[in-house]
A and B are shown apart, each in its own frame.
Chain A
């Protein structure tokens, strides 16, 4: 089930929310008797399994099987830590490999990477002795909690398990606090929904058109296609994560932050600290550090970094283009890191001899802006390899862009931005007769989205600081209604022969 579906917003989630708080009330009324204490969490676990298996019960079997094996291995951890961990890793990575690359049963359970990584994190923390007793209920919910089971964020056991332990309910005061949490969660959910349904999907239709018609593009079109995908990916994934965090918050469970305005990063290292943060953290803790991290000399450190990006590339998809994407990021990451290491050293040497000179603030700002622009450009180019069907198509798009043959922007490409709701405004204002009218929305939407990306506050920080009141209620209602009305279009097929 998708968050952006009628079934989720009108049936599943309202029922889960009501059921969750009802269970809370029951627990409270019973005075928190032992038996009744886990009721809320048991309810969430059942809801999560239902959510995951909704349209594909076979996915649920894989999830349950994987959870059972991992939980069992966790129990053997005390007796045989190494053996349990090795078996677990072999099982988890094997399962992932079989489903993703061999595909013997012609289906890949949605989110298999995410629930597998979540369980690897659990085993690793167990191995490191950071976990004491974990009940099957807590474990089940830690892995399958429905807001995150499909696309993350990849939560660590230390973040989630304490929140899932059955606490006695807190009575009246807590209920007052619940309202604020629900409000902020709702705020974040609606912003995420809008980001996904209206912003990402509009950009996505332009990107899809471009990648399906590469031969018809000129350099300007190519730039727009490249940019559209870069922005689509961000709004899609971060919109999804906003929704996940919002849902979690409404249910009193906070999920880790996954995106923090990544395109504002001034270098690639900063980018990876802001983009899909929980994945970066996962690879750092459970791959980079076990490889030796930065403790085995500079060369090994750089090699380890490169390897992490290579693995990340291969994990993101089958095909040499993902390896190229991973290596592009890895190489720049290593170069940046080497440059920073070098700077730190010379800085340290200078500091010993004379006091450091600070750059004037304006120059600092200019250097920062230059860094942001350059990083953004580089990330854009790397995304071309990520999105293109193959390296050949990626190179062809790059060649188109680099050919500097500009002309009128492709009519159909621009048409993807002409959302009906805005296009009617243009018609009513009678600007539609102007020869460039067809392009107005493309320019406005791209400009607005770029502005949001570089200068806007994140949805998370907006939701944290949102004031209650009628104005905000109205704003949220408009965004929510607009998004819901956009869930299903009217499928029309262009005239096809026969």
Chain B
């Protein structure tokens, strides 16, 4: 270096070292791209996929698929190989734990703009799990703050991705040192092993809520739900008439209904189910599936790991139903059981169940 002043020379050396290190780090991140922000996965690199917030947008943008699974942790135990086997679909799972409707809208924005839905190609199916409790919140609310830099097109804020120690160490170097790629068909699957699916474990972790005196009016949730559907779900259904939306309500255990009864909002909850089912079922490209009234599933806590999370075999069961059309809610004027029938059965199960017997058994 030409500089004569030793301090100037030292500063120039410093800048050169820093520049070299940053260029190297950024180049490595862009090349491997563990969050698929710039390109499809490199063939042969053992990618670790374990971060829904950071990796879903990239997967949605750059992977090959013709259908997607969206929803909360109720959807993480679907194996996409089943969808291939049962419906001949190449499905990508993009679950978000505890997702709010806005989370679904964020990822659908990316999905429908991806090459899988451009030109001649149209996305075949969207499987969307609906958790009623998340549709009563704010329209702009996401469950967790999303890493914006992975969701927008601003290249400047990508610096948080390309110069990021966690990305370098945990998603690139660790995978090079210990190459074990995530199996995408079973990505994000829950950690519970078989022994956790037991009544004893479920009741051990369950706390019976105190009784609320005042009953929530039947239409209390409808305004928020209407807004959420209108802003975060329906536009995607309307703008993509060639894509079929398979909307399903997952089967929470009877303890969920114990909560609903104790918190005194049974009618409001059932009304919410009705509103969502009717509103979405009115679209030609939507099928609605209703599982909460499967008494044999929900009343046996040995099918659950906590008050809402069921055993993966029920994910398999639901996938089979999607293939065969079982548990599908009949549209207006169509033959078969409509939403009224399902909700009547649901009310009956919820009201008739012997909660004292179940919860008392544990306490005693």
Contacts and interface: CB of A to CB of B under 8 A. Distances in A.
Given A485-B25, A490-B54, A495 B11 contact: no
A485 B147 contact: no
A420 interface: yes
Given A473-B14, A485-B165, A486-B165, A176 B5 contact: yes
A495 B17 contact: no
Contact of A424 (B53, B73, B177): B177
A278 to B, nearest CB: 28
Interface in B148-179: 159-160, 163-171, 173-174, 177
B308 interface: yes
A12 interface: no
B98 interface: yes
A497 B256 CA distance: 13
A490 B14 contact: no
Contact of A183 (B10, B18, B163): B10
B182 to A, nearest CB: 14
Interface string A473-498: 11011101110111111111101111
B97 interface: yes
B293 interface: no
Given A493-B53, A498-B72, A498-B308, A424 B169 contact: yes
B190 interface: yes
Contacts of A484: 22, 163
Nearest to A474: B17
Given A420-B170, A485-B163, A498-B73, A491 B18 contact: no
Contact of A490 (B9, B131, B170): B170
A338 interface: no
A105 interface: no
A491 B166 CA distance: 9
A174 interface: no
A233 B107 CA distance: 40
A470 B15 CA distance: 11
Contacts of B84: none
Nearest to A420: B169
Chain A, interface SS category = helix
Given A485-B163, A489-B165, A496-B98, A468 B10 contact: yes
B355 interface: no
A179 interface: yes
A488 B160 contact: yes
A411 interface: no
Contacts of A473: 10-11, 13-14, 17
B144 interface: yes
B150 to A, nearest CB: 10
B306 interface: yes
A356 interface: no
Contact of A487 (B21, B54, B97, B160): B160
A182 interface: yes
Interface string B42-60: 0000000011011000000
Contacts, number: 116
A474 B10 CA distance: 9
Interface string B24-54: 0100000000000000000000000011011
B144 A491 contact: yes
Interface in A160-208: 176, 179-180, 182-183, 186
Given A6-B159, A469-B6, A497-B98, A491 B147 contact: yes
A485 B160 CA distance: 9
A468 B174 CA distance: 36
A136 B131 CA distance: 60
Given A490-B170, A498-B133, A182 B13 contact: no
Contacts of A495: 73, 97, 190-191
Chain A CB within 10 Å, residue with most, of B7, B21, B145, B147: B7
A477 B15 CA distance: 8
A133 interface: no
B133 A477 contact: no
Nearest to A184: B7
Contacts of B73: 495, 497-498
B164 A477 contact: no
B7 A180 contact: yes
B8 interface: yes
B50 to A, nearest CB: 8
A197 to B, nearest CB: 10
Nearest to A488: B160
A10 interface: yes
A80 interface: no
A342 B270 CA distance: 80
A476 B6 CA distance: 16
A472 interface: yes
A231 to B, nearest CB: 22
Contact of A492 (B51, B133, B160): B51
A186 B14 contact: yes
Given A474-B17, A485-B25, A491-B53, A10 B159 contact: yes
Contact of A182 (B6, B11, B21, B306): B11
A478 B173 CA distance: 18
Contacts of B169: 420-421, 424
Contacts of A180: 5, 7
Interface in B282-310: 306, 308-309
Contacts of B171: 490
A428 B11 CA distance: 34
Nearest to B35: A490
A481 B163 CA distance: 9
A14 to B, nearest CB: 10
Interface string A451-472: 0000000000000000011101
A488 B168 CA distance: 12
Interface in B169-223: 169-171, 173-174, 177, 190-191
A182 B7 CA distance: 8
A470 B306 CA distance: 60
Contacts of B173: 424
A96 to B, nearest CB: 31
Nearest to B205: A497
A493 B177 contact: no
Given A182-B11, A469-B10, A498 B166 contact: no
A478 B22 CA distance: 11
A99 B104 CA distance: 39
A490 B144 contact: no
Given A493-B53, A498-B98, A481 B13 contact: no
A491 B10 contact: no
A170 to B, nearest CB: 15
B101 to A, nearest CB: 14
Nearest to B145: A491
A486 B173 CA distance: 16
Nearest to B55: A490
Contacts of B147: 490-491
A176 B133 CA distance: 67
A482 B168 CA distance: 12
Sorted nearest first, the 3 A-B pairs with minimum C-beta distance are A477-B17, A473-B13, A468-B10
12 contacts: A424-B177, A468-B10, A484-B22, A485-B25, A487-B160, A490-B167, A490-B171, A491-B53, A491-B145, A497-B309, A498-B133, A498-B134
Given A179-B11, A468-B6, A487-B160, 9 more contacts: A179-B7, A421-B165, A470-B10, A487-B164, A491-B54, A491-B144, A491-B145, A493-B97, A498-B98
